[in-house]
Amino acid sequence: MLTLSTIQMLLGAASGVLVGFSLGLVGGGGSILAVPLLVYLVGVQEPHLAIGTSAVAVAANAAASLLNHARAGNVRWPCASVFGGAGVVGALAGARLGKTVDGQALLAAFAVMMVAVALLMLRRREPDEDRRVRLSRGNAPALVGTGFAVGALSGFFGIGGGFLIVPGLVFATGMPMLEAVGTSLVAVTAFGLTTAGSYAVAGLVDWGLAAVFVAGGVAGSLIGARIGRALSRRRGLLGKVFAGLILLVAAYVLARSLGPTG
């Protein structure tokens, strides 16, 4: 396990603030940055340990953000239950497979995944915010299929999957963006808990680091949710800005994982 210095604890808390802020603001993004933050900023040397620790932190931070969105009425619980249930099955399979892959290869694949997510964000079209979506026989199969696929990717890479879940919910149901953000946090929490449980059983979670990460994340999620509500009309712009950030981080992770010091 990682022995935390004071500086590492502070960096872990600061990383948690960034993760929580993004989850509260747009329902994702912070989780896909959690692993690179732990590896390259905090200094966790073992990628699998970073993935397991980030999964614990992401699940806790997503739960805090979920409470804020639920109070605002932005969660469609029936759709979330179907999507999340299928996703948990996928996450279990993905986490088992991810632990068998070489750590540096996993980081390289993770970077490629980040690029794909950023491109999805840039191409995403936002439906009418006034539309109300309900679970039906028409959208249930799409929710199950998309939920399983997103859950598998979430478990494999150790991410909450928010930026995959939000487009997935919009694709499957035509859900407005604000509802998709709130609803996605149910699945982010479920996927994170599933992945964290799998890694914890294998002894791949640093609980001390996870604790300081979560503490920072709770504060960040409260701030992010408040700003997100205030800027909901500009969410498309925020998504494009964050897509650019993800592309920059992906390039850095890919260079580090494939370089001589990988």
Helices and strands in the chain: count of H runs, count of E runs: 10, 0
Instruction: Compute the distance between CA of residue 182 and CA of residue 196 in angstroms, rounded to an integer.
Output: 22
Instruction: Compute the distance between CA of residue 100 and CA of residue 139 in angstroms, rounded to an integer.
Output: 34
118-157 as b/e, with b when 16 or more CB fall inside 10 Å?
bebbeebeeeeeeeebebeeebbebbbebbbbbbbbbbbb
- Using pLDDT thresholds of 50, 70 and 90, give the confidence band for residue 76: very high
Q: Are 246 and 114 in contact (CB under 8 A)?
A: yes
Q: Which domain holds residue 227?
A: 7-258
Residue 242: CB atoms within 10 Å? 21
The least confident of 22-31, 90-99, 121-130 is: 121-130
Q: Are 232 and 182 in contact (CB under 8 A)?
A: no
Q: Would you call 71 exposed, middle or buried from its count of C-beta atoms within 10 A (0-12, 13-18, 19+)?
A: exposed
Q: Per the domain annotation, does 222 fall within a domain?
A: yes
- Residue ranges of alpha helices (H) inside 99-136 are 103-123
Say whether pTM exceeds 0.75: no
Q: Are 217 and 33 in contact (CB under 8 A)?
A: no
Q: What average pLDDT does the segment 230-249 reach?
A: 69
222-239 as b/e, with b when 16 or more CB fall inside 10 Å?
bebbeebeeeeeebeebb
More confident residue, 238 or 65: 65
Q: What average pLDDT does the segment 146-169 reach?
A: 79
Q: Per the domain annotation, does 44 fall within a domain?
A: yes
Q: What is the pLDDT of residues 6-63, one digit of tens each?
A: 888 899 999 989 888 877 776 666 667 788 889 888 988 888 898 899 889 888 888 8
Q: What average pLDDT does the segment 99-121 reach?
A: 79
Per-residue pLDDT, 31: 63
Q: Per the domain annotation, does 1 fall within a domain?
A: no
Instruction: Compute the distance between CA of residue 81 and CA of residue 225 in angstroms, rounded to an integer.
Output: 22
Q: Are 174 and 30 in contact (CB under 8 A)?
A: no
Residue 81: CB atoms within 10 Å? 17
Instruction: Compute the distance between CA of residue 110 and CA of residue 209 in angstroms, rounded to an integer.
Output: 21
Per-residue pLDDT, 262: 43
What percent of the chain stands above pLDDT 90?
16
Q: Are 15 and 213 in contact (CB under 8 A)?
A: yes
Q: Per the domain annotation, does 94 fall within a domain?
A: yes
Instruction: Compute the distance between CA of residue 55 and CA of residue 191 in angstroms, rounded to an integer.
Output: 8
- Using pLDDT thresholds of 50, 70 and 90, give the confidence band for residue 176: confident
- Nearest by Cα to 74 from 40, 24, 6: 24
Number of domains in the chain: 1
